[in-house]
Structure 1
Amino acid sequence: MGARHIKITGTGRYLPGTGIAAEEIDRRIGAEPGWVMRKTSVANRHFAGEETASEMGANAAREALERAGLTFGDIDCLVCASGTMQQPIPCTAALIQRALGEEESGVPCFDINSTCLSFVTALDTLSYLIDAGRYRRILIVSSEIASKGLNWSDKESAALFGDGAAAAVVERSADGEVSRLLHARMTTHSAGARHSEIRGGGSGLPAPGYSEETAADYLFSMDGEAIFRQASRLLPDFMRELLGGAGLSMNDFNLVVPHQGSVMAMRLLQRKLGISEEQMLYVAPDYGNVIAASIPLGLDKAVREGRLNRGDRVLLVGTSAGLSLGGAVLIY
């Protein structure tokens, strides 16, 4: 399959609250002042209060539509691409449709979940549907509330995460327009499935099994070192295939928007892949790890700051629970 003729025509975001500084997280986890910054480089993050994931997603969606110069009536499909869900049933996309006040619209809604890579997976999957003419315009929304599932006794992971939502309107690019998705790739290596997980809440450890003794099974658990080692081994070959499929080298990109799981992961990416400081877009220092919303938050930030313009080559890349590696090469 060659390039897919799609373009992102509008992006939006929603960040709950006013932000929580690293010093406040130091206090919450009982660490000495400066520990969170030293370990994570996350200076600020946002935590949801009363907002639901669907309300956050609806706010980001409204902004994306407004910046694309469209209304919900112009959308043919709404997809929630997130690693966390508001409730097991129905899909979060349906709840976002309702939060937008469009519950009678009939617009199809479904979720795509590959944890931190959900936005990239959705963009890749849906690009075929747009390119083939199945849908004209799709709204992809990533809305994540990580804070509700953090294990505060696990300082390393609790210090990393933030809540937030981001959305993008994606449509077919017209003949003669440069915008397209050149190539995308994903691999999963489930030897690392236990490295990042929430064991409880599904059919394996259903909700009635919850007790004080089993509480940790229902909270997020991560072995950052194990993820780092596995990703470190797999990334070089993965990137050769991804960039080779697009016929590009790292130097050809105007911008690289990585999923920013941790400062360790960022340094690994930069060092192993030869990404320059000028190319790299940092999101984690301001928002933390916002799971699947991290990459679209980065895209939105780049567009707002004028770092991403039509015709620019952009690389979206990252790892996710599974362990999966994924990336997409776009001409914006």
Structure 2
Amino acid sequence: MKKTFYSNGKLLVTGEYLVLDGAQAFALPTKQGQNLCVETSKNHEIVWTSYDFDGQIWFQDTLSFSDITNGTRDQTESVKSTLTTILHEAYKLNPEFILNANGYNVTTELSFPKNWGLGTSSTLINNIAQWLQIDAFTLLKNSFGGSGYDIACAQNDTPILFQIKDGNPTVKQVEFNPEFKKNIYFVYLNKKQNSKTAIEAYQKNKKNNLAETIALNDQLTTAVYNAPTLLAFKYALTQHEAHLSSILETTIVKDTLFPDFDGVVKSLGAWGGDFIMAVSEHNPTAYFKSKGYETVIPYEEMILHSGNDLK
């Protein structure tokens, strides 16, 4: 018997890094995501195959049940080691999937290139949690770490507000369907940012006046998703970018890469890689391609608006 599970990808618009300390984050689930298919097998092992968006195998290996139950892994950051850790933590939450099984064939399939940073790990964790009927936020916390906003995007088909309150994730679906969405584009910066490294840098540099910093972040987050006009949206994004720049002591991406761009450029998620949001009166595709950035995706093609959108 074959079981299939699906999770949405994600883009974090506001609250980068600060979301770890209780700030509100505005995030968008993407139309692209990841499938996970499970079939029963034998030999007390999991034969795992992962496909990229173009059908090419990017990971393939066999994990023994004993390695999963014991959490046996090498000391590298290999895909197999990371997967073993996730499955070991899943086993601790629901041991029946190992104890009462003979084996599995598992395949995963991305509908976006894995180097895009849209949530290869979070969609995997949420799919595993669906398969094993365990809490995805707990599995993330025990294995990969992070705030959990990406898990929330994996589970929701509309824009969301995400916040950690008293150590627990809270998710609120919000309406974000402005007329000016036609002016919003997403541009891939040709490199994937390591989220773990970026988070470690933030934890090292964050200041003591967190309450004040978070309060301003939350005001700007509200201004972003409630913006009534394109001008108000651009202003709120610019203010948010400047606010976070001062916290991270990092130059904003527009100043470093696109100083002559006629519009607003906003970092998304971990600064320095993956996607940026570009807001412009005119289609900016030619501009970014002239700079060597070939992947420019309109808002409507990237963002999941409701459960009616096809996956």
| TM-score of the alignment, normalized to the shorter chain, above 0.5 | no
TM-score (normalizing by structure 2): 0.25
Instruction: Look at both structures and tell me which one has the larger radius of gyration over its CA atoms.
Output: 2
TM-score (normalizing by structure 1): 0.24
